[in-house]
Every structure is written in C-alpha cells, then in structure tokens.
Amino acid sequence: MKTTQTIFEDGGHKWIAVVRDPKRPAHVIDTNEYLIAHDDEAILCDPGGSEIFPAVFSALSVEFDPSRIRALFSSHQDPDIISSLSMWLEFNPEIKCYLSWLWASFVSHFGGTEKTFVVIPDAGMEIFVGGLRLQAIPAHYLHSSGNLHLYDPKAKILFSGDVGAALLPAGEDSLFVENFDHHIHHAEGFHRRWMGSNKAKREWCERVSRLDIDMLCPQHGAIYRGEDVKRFIDWFANLEVGILKT
Amino acid sequence: MAIGNQRGHQLRRIVRVNEEIKTVIATAFTINLMAMNAIFLAKRAGTAALGFGVLSNELRRFAIDLQKQMALLSEMTYDSVSTVTALLKQARLNQMLKGTLSVCTGVGKRLVEDALRTRLEGALSDRQEQSDAINRRLSQMITDTCQLVELGSVLARSAKIEAAYGGKLSVPLTQVSSDFEQSIGEIQRSLEKLTKHHLEESDA
C-alpha cells in the first residue's frame, strides 16, 4: 500500500502526498499523487492509473475522507495520470475533472460525462477549492501538447506534473530531494527524452521563476524544496531537451 | 471461470457468430445473382420452363429476404457486443473495487462497501437483464432464419424437379438448380455453426 505524508499544513489547508508503494508491480511506473485540501473540500492532482487506484484510495482514506474530493486535476492525458477517472466517479459521480481543453474528448474514453470535464484554456485559469484559489499554469509541450501545472500561492507549492520527475532506482525512495547533484542524474535522461521543446521549456522556466515557490512537486520521483527549487529551474533552463540520445 | 474471462469468451463467440453471418450474407448475394441468371435462362427456355422461372423468382426473393434477415442479425450481435463490453467493464470495475476493499480501512472501507452494494444491486443486474433479452431475441431470430432457409431448400429442390421439364435447356437448368441446392446447403451449415456458437454464448 502507498503511504501518505502531509507536506504542508496551515489550519484547514493541507497538501497530502500519496507516495511509494512497495507492493507496486515492477512493470507499473511509480507515481506521486497530491491532495490539496481546504476546509471541507479537496482536489486531487494527477489521481493516477486504474491499476494503482486501490493503493491510492486506501492510503488516502486513512488521512482524508475521499467522498470530500470534489475535483481532480489532470496535468495531461496519459494513462498513469488519469485512467483511474472512472473509479473516482464511482464514489462521486459529480466529481469534476480539470484538464486542458485539448484532452477533454480524449480523456472521456476513460470515463465521465460531458458534465465531468472542466476544460482549461491554453493560458491557464484559476481553480477554487473550498475558498482556496489555485492557479493552473501553462506547461504545454512539457511533455504533452496540452499540459498544465497547479500552483498554490498560499502554500507556495507548485505541482509540476512530469517536470522535475525522476526515475529513482530501488532503495532511493526519499520523499524529498536530499542531494540535488546526485538526484538530478536520475532526472536528466527523462527530461531530455520526454520534454519535446526547448522553446516551451524556456518559457516555462521564465514563467515559474516569477512565482514564489517553496516546493516543486513532480508526479514521479522526489520533491524539490527550498534552494533546490531554483537549482532545478536553472538546471532545466540549461538542459537541451527533445533529443533521442541521453 | 472469472467473470472477466467468461465475458472474454462471450466476445470471441460473438466474433465467430459474426463470421458465419458474413458467410451467409455472401452466399445469399451469390444466390441472388444466380437467381437472376436463372430467370433469363427460363425465359429463353420458353413455356417449358415457366415453373422454373417462377421458382427462380421465389429464390431471388428468398435471397433478398435472407440478406435483410442477416443484416438484422448482424445489428443484434453488435448490440450484444456493446452489452458484453459494458458487462466486461463493470466486472473490471467491481474487481478493482474488491481489490480496494481488501486494503482499505475506516471511512474508505465503508465507502467501497457502499459502492459495491449499489453496483451489484443496480447497474450490473440491469446490464445482465439487457444481455439476456438480447440473447433471447437473437435465438428467436436464428430460429426464424433457419425456417426461412428451410423454405429456400424446398424451393431449390422444386427447381431441380422443374428443370427436368426444361426442354432443350434442361441440362443447364438442372446445373443451376444444383448450384442453388449446394449454396443453400452451405448456408444451412453456416447456420448450424452460428446456432452452436450462439448457444455456447447463451450458456456462458
């Protein structure tokens, strides 16, 4: 089963990371899910694939009543991001799924009705959860052509989808990046291959540099915090991406 | 057998039913063409082949009716595929919910139990009823088709008898009527296979 860790808490405002499943089959990529709760409502970022739904749901329900999840945020359309949609709808058919306008009619193959999807324009938009204002930040072509990240200005946390992701070897399962220089080797190949556009990357780096970020939370690997956030953005800005050889 | 596997078998059987339907449609199309040729041949034979001409007309009508009937059957198997697919999806969701239940505690466990109860009482049984209804209609339609083909077989046998009175064109008329008989025999064999696959599917 996965475990949960509260990475931010301020009264009724919480970020809960759902991470690391020791029983996960080796052929299924490890993912991080993040729940942003505010008072009585919550949004779940990249809820994961249907194969890992039992692990995510059970871990989450220890910390938080899943029936209070009002929305899902899908950074893009990949199966490891959102193929569990139909399972979440089982518990709350009214649940909303925020995602790029580009993918609404594609992700609906995983489940949902016309009312399920709240499409986000290319420029991003504000999303409100229990009175908390979140900001969907454009990250197109990183790696998906319709890609968005979610910024919480109050908690100063950026959920960055696949940006910042690292494929960690067995045994290196720390939730936070402990040694940036060592960690970034596990991220390099992934970013070179998966991220498709240097121009999009530069624009994203400029955009997020203007945000006040304490933690950068990717969907795979470990969380960057403090100075490592800036280190990561600088490293990414200088990395040549969109190439086949690593 | 696990429900998912069972539904997988059902889908494969439906595919086989569909293959037989395609064979019958193709053969019915051939009969239609053969009957048109037979009508011209009977006209050439004149009054001696009047009976053969009438039977050829009937065989042509039979071929058209059979094509229509098979098109309906094909539509029904499509419905059957949709229902079985939905059942397969439901079974998969149930399986995942059961998996979730086995690792859940507290509020999560209660939510999963409620969801499973609702599903088992509602959607799944509705779909099963829908599937059963489609199966019953399909069975009835296959029975009707078998009767129609039996009629075709009688027409082909009668055409063979009439061909003997076809005067100078008696030999080609006999050949044509034998072709009719052979084609309808092929259809009967396809229908037997189709019935067998369908019965296996219904039993599953």
Cα(B187)–Cα(B25) distance, integer angstroms:
9
Q: How big is the CA angle at B97 (ends B96 and B102), to the nearest 5 degrees?
A: 95
Q: Do B100 and A90 count as a contact with CB atoms less than 8 A apart?
A: no
- pLDDT tens digits for chain A (246 residues)? 789 999 999 999 999 999 988 777 788 888 999 999 999 899 999 999 988 898 899 889 888 988 899 999 999 999 999 999 999 998 899 999 999 999 999 999 999 999 999 999 999 999 999 999 999 999 999 999 999 999 999 999 999 999 999 999 888 889 999 999 999 999 999 999 999 999 999 999 999 999 999 999 999 999 999 999 999 999 999 999 998 764
What's CA A101's distance to the chain center, in Å? Answer: 18
Distance from CA of B80 to the nearest CA of A (A): 20
Query: For position B9, what pLDDT does the model report?
Result: 74
Cα(A128)–Cα(A34) distance, integer angstroms:
16
Question: Which residues in chain A are contacts of B115 at CB distance < 8 A?
Answer: 90-91
Give the relative orientation of helices B50-103 and B3-45 as an angle to the nearest 10 degrees.
170
Q: What sign does the dihedral A22-A28-A32-A34 (CA atoms) show? A: negative
The yes-or-no verdict on residue B126 having pLDDT over 80 is: no
Query: For position B96, what pLDDT does the model report?
Result: 87
* Residue range A3-238 in CATH 3.60.15.10: yes
Q: How big is the CA angle at B127 (ends B125 and B133), to the nearest 5 degrees?
A: 105
In this prediction, residues B13-36 reach a mean pLDDT of 90
Pick the more confident residue, B5 or A73. A73
Nearest to B87 by CA among B116, B46, B123, B51: B123
Which of A59-73, B4-18, B65-79 is predicted least confidently? B4-18
The separation between the first and the last C-alpha atoms of chain B, rounded to the nearest angstrom, is 10
In this prediction, residues B107-118 reach a mean pLDDT of 89
CB A53 within 8 A of CB A145: no
Residue B171: CB atoms within 10 A of its CB come to 10
Query: For position B57, what pLDDT does the model report?
Result: 95
Which one-letter DSSP state was computed for residue A171? T
Residue of B nearest to A59 (CA): B104
Structure-token match 């505690």, residue found: B105
> Is the Cβ of A58 closer than 8 Å to some Cβ of chain B?
yes
Strand partners, A8: A15
Cα(B20)–Cα(B14) distance, integer angstroms:
10
Cα(B156)–Cα(B61) distance, integer angstroms:
13
Query: For position B19, what pLDDT does the model report?
Result: 86
**Beta-carbon contacts of residue B78 (< 8 Å; ≥ 6 apart):** none
Query: For position A170, what pLDDT does the model report?
Result: 83
SS3 content of chain A, % helix, strand, coil (to 5): 30, 25, 45
Give the relative orientation of helices A227-238 and A198-209 as an angle to the nearest 10 degrees.
150
Pick the more confident residue, B71 or A228. A228
The yes-or-no verdict on residue B132 having pLDDT over 90 is: no
β-bridge pairing A215-217 and A157-159: parallel
Q: How big is the CA angle at B28 (ends B26 and B31), to the nearest 5 degrees?
A: 115
Question: Which residues in chain A are contacts of B104 at CB distance < 8 A?
Answer: 54, 57-58, 61
Nearest to A58 among B93, B108, B119 (CB): B108
Cα(A103)–Cα(A97) distance, integer angstroms:
11
Does the structure's ipTM exceed the value 0.85? no
Q: Do A61 and B106 count as a contact with CB atoms less than 8 A apart?
A: yes
The yes-or-no verdict on residue B120 having pLDDT over 70 is: yes
In this prediction, residues B176-182 reach a mean pLDDT of 94
The yes-or-no verdict on residue B10 having pLDDT over 80 is: no
Query: For position A135, what pLDDT does the model report?
Result: 98
Cα(A116)–Cα(A47) distance, integer angstroms:
15
Query: For position B202, what pLDDT does the model report?
Result: 65
Query: For position B2, what pLDDT does the model report?
Result: 56
The yes-or-no verdict on residue B128 having pLDDT over 80 is: no
- Whole-angstrom CA distances from B159 to B10, B19, B154 are 40, 29, 9
DSSP three-state, residue A176: strand
The yes-or-no verdict on residue B146 having pLDDT over 70 is: yes
Interface test with A, best of B90, B93, B113, B120 (most A CBs within 10 A): B93
Burial of B146 (0-12, 13-18, 19+ CB in 10 A): middle
Residue B16: CB atoms within 10 A of its CB come to 16
The separation between the first and the last C-alpha atoms of chain A, rounded to the nearest angstrom, is 33
Query: For position A163, what pLDDT does the model report?
Result: 98
